[in-house]
Amino acid sequence: MPNPAWRASPRRRTAEEPTLPAHRPSRLPGQAVATPEPPGHRPTGLARFNAMPADEAERALLACCGSSHWARRVAAHRPYPDLDALLAASDEAAYDLTSADVSEALACESLTLLPDGAYSAAHMALSAAHAAYESRFGHVFVICLDDTPQEESPDLVLTEISSRLANDPDKELTLAAEELRRLTRGRLTRSLGATPRGAGNGAVV
């Protein structure tokens, strides 16, 4: 900030002197710079996410992954030019989560739901399997079903829970973190208008 006691003597600018473009945007750390849109245009999808205030973007991201560290990091690296760039940033932030970060995210997850029409015996078996899993590891079982046909989901979930019950807690936390990363990618993708195959939930915009 210039010293108010100092005043430059007025002079006329010559044609040779360089000028800064008046439209150059200023940017603070963590602040997204949105591309100007035509009057009356309402941004959607990625453009809207890029233009959100930081706190609003973080809240939206927490719907995809419950780690506050992950949400802050992904929001801070906006704007993203395309979905692939956003997913790459999401993956990078997910790989850097600590055990405490993963536990925070797992605490926000709900039980994996079976698709509509699954037979009642599957629901009973799944409830028992979830209870055994939570008793052993202290958090819900998570699995990404985005690439799994709905009719195969019940058997896959039950098989995976039974298999992972034999893991030690450290190995299981690592596997759960990988499933969270995959779940988060699907949720981000759906939130921006694309729909991967299979189940899942969560939204950003």
- The type of residue at 119 is Y
Burial of residue 131 (number of CB atoms within 10 Å: 0-12, 13-18, 19+):
exposed
pTM above 0.75, yes or no: no
Q: What is the mean pLDDT of each run of 10 residues along the chain (205 residues)?
A: 41 40 34 40 77 96 97 97 97 97 95 63 83 96 90 88 96 97 96 58 37
Do the beta carbons of residue 75 and residue 30 sit within 8 Å?
yes
User: What pLDDT does residue 115 have?
Assistant: 59
For residue 113, give Cα distances in angstroms to 24, 56, 98, 157: 49, 28, 27, 9
User: What pLDDT does residue 118 have?
Assistant: 58
User: What pLDDT does residue 110 have?
Assistant: 85
Q: Which two tokens stand for residue 95?
A: 């790989």
Q: Which two tokens stand for residue 175?
A: 């596997």
User: What pLDDT does residue 93 have?
Assistant: 98
Q: Cα separation of 155 and 159, whole Å?
A: 6
Pick left, alpha or beta for residue 58 (phi over 0 → left; psi -120 to 50 → alpha; otherwise beta): alpha
